[in-house]
Amino acid sequence: MKTILAIHTGGTISMSQNQNGEVVPNDENPLAKEQVILKGQINLITDNLFNLPSPHITPQIMLALKQRILQAIEKGVDGVVITHGTDTLEETAYFLDLTLPNTIPVVLTGAMRSSNEIGSDGLYNFQNAISVAATPESYGKGVLVAMNDEIHTARFVTKTHTTNVDTFRTPTFGPIGIVTQHKAKYFQELIRTDVCEIDHVISGVYLLKAYAGMDGDLFSALDNKKTHGIVIEGLGAGNLPPQTIPAIQQLLRHQIPIVLVSRCYNGVAQKIYDYAGGGIQLEKMGLILCQGLNGQKARIKLLVALSSQKKGTDLRHFVSNAVS
């Protein structure tokens, strides 16, 4: 019988609606009272590690979660399921994907409707995630996200809807598998996974979104000793308004790494345009174009890279390529 460790961290999946219709955290996780169908076929052990809404999750908490999973791997568990608030689930999932050895299945899940709401998806997603974690085919696929009958990679999944249960999507590439009759079936593979050992996380890595008419003011505000890295969600294929350039050049002169992704939902950032602020010129200036990651994922990758003290071409190689 497989041993699966369920680590609860909080989020809507552990909350309930009060008489006024407000969704609030509980002292005791409602999942504890529920009967998981797969019980009997697996040995489920539970750790109520945190009870936090996911906007309260920080990289320090992600690191503590990673250490807890490493401990469990050492103890010989066969798989890990993490319940998490959906707002920042994709960031925690990608952090773990980048920092954990690619050995046993690690599967994140959550819920869009709290435990006592009609049509609550919490127990259903939890049960599916356990079955994904217990499936032999889930080994070696990096960290996974199982929600609403789909299996996504931590690397590319993103929350796309504020309330709909079908919120988690993988733009451009699609999910790698589905869950049907509580069984995982895979149809795609990730190319490669680069793991980066870290034992601490730095602060001062920021994310800015470009917009029509943006100037250098926000960039200049970040030109200080606290800033260790910046990710910009650029326009289209990876372009910026020309008024931003002088302030960005100043940041680069101060050795602050700047990563460029696209603010578009689909596609990857690329150097296509050779005009002031075009991707070709931005890369020549020294910006790192990161292919395939959204802004929040690229920020996690830059944060992990800087926390592991990657520098120069090492940093550029690690951050620019989402398939490694």
Number of CB atoms found within 10 A of residue 312's CB: 8
Q: Least distance in Å: CB of 20 to ligand ASP? A: 17
9, 12, 83, 88: which one is catalytic?
12
Taking the complex as a whole, how short is the minimal distance between the CB of residue 254 and ligand ASP, in angstroms?
35
Angle at 313 between CA 310 and CA 317, to 5 degrees: 85
Q: Is the CB of residue 244 less than 8 Å from the CB of residue 214?
A: yes
**Segment interacting with ligand ASP (CB under 6 A) among 65-73, 80-88, 168-176, 220-228:** 80-88
The span from the CA of 64 to the CA of 301, in Å, is: 17
Q: Which is nearer to ligand ASP, 294 or 320 (CB)?
A: 294
Q: Which of 5, 8, 11, 216 binds ligand ASP (CB under 6 A)?
A: 11
Applying CB under 6 A, which part among 84-92, 222-230, 241-249, 274-282 lies near ligand ASP? 84-92
Question: Distance (Å, rounded) from C-alpha 61 to C-alpha 270?
Answer: 33
Largest CA distance in the chain: 63
The interface region with ligand ASP, picked from 79-87, 173-181, 223-231, 309-317 by CB under 6 A, is 79-87
Near ligand ASP by CB under 6 A: residue from 106, 112, 147, 235 = 112
**Contact letters for ligand ASP, residues 179-218 (x by CB under 6 A):** ----------------------------------------
Find the part of the chain contacting ligand ASP (CB under 6 A) among 70-78, 81-89, 100-108, 170-178.
Answer: 81-89
Give the C-alpha separation, 47 to 39, whole Å: 16
Asked if residue 54 binds ligand ASP (CB under 6 A), the reply is: yes
Structure tokens at 225: 């000793």
> Residue 122 interacts with ligand ASP (CB under 6 A)?
no
**Cα–Cα distance between 110 and 84 in angstroms, integer?**
5
Q: How many CB atoms are located within 10 Å of the residue 70 CB?
A: 13
DSSP 99-116: HS-S-S-EEEE--SS-TT
Contact between 12 and ligand ASP by CB under 6 A: the answer reads: yes
Q: Which residues pair with 109 in a beta bridge?
A: 83
Residue in the block written with tokens 């733009």: 171
Position of minimal CB gap to ligand ASP:
85
Tell me which of 4, 62, 63, 86 binds ligand ASP, using CB under 6 A: 86
* Dihedral sign (CA 290, 291, 295, 300): negative
**DSSP characters for 22-79?**
-EEE-SS-GGGGS--TTBTTEEEEEE------GGG--HHHHHHHHHHHHHHHHHT-SE
Nearer to ligand ASP (CB atom), residue 12 or residue 153: 12
Query: Using CA atoms in the order 78, 39, 63, 92, what is the torsion angle rounded to 10 degrees?
Result: 110
Q: Is 160 a catalytic residue?
A: no
Residue 29 lies near ligand ASP (rule: CB under 6 A): no
Site string (140-179) toward ligand ASP, x via CB under 6 A: ----------------------------------------
The 10 Å Cβ neighbour count of residue 202 is 15
User: Residue 236 CB, nearest distance to ligand ASP (Å)?
Assistant: 30
Residues that bind ligand ASP (CB under 6 A): 11-12, 53-54, 85-87, 110, 112
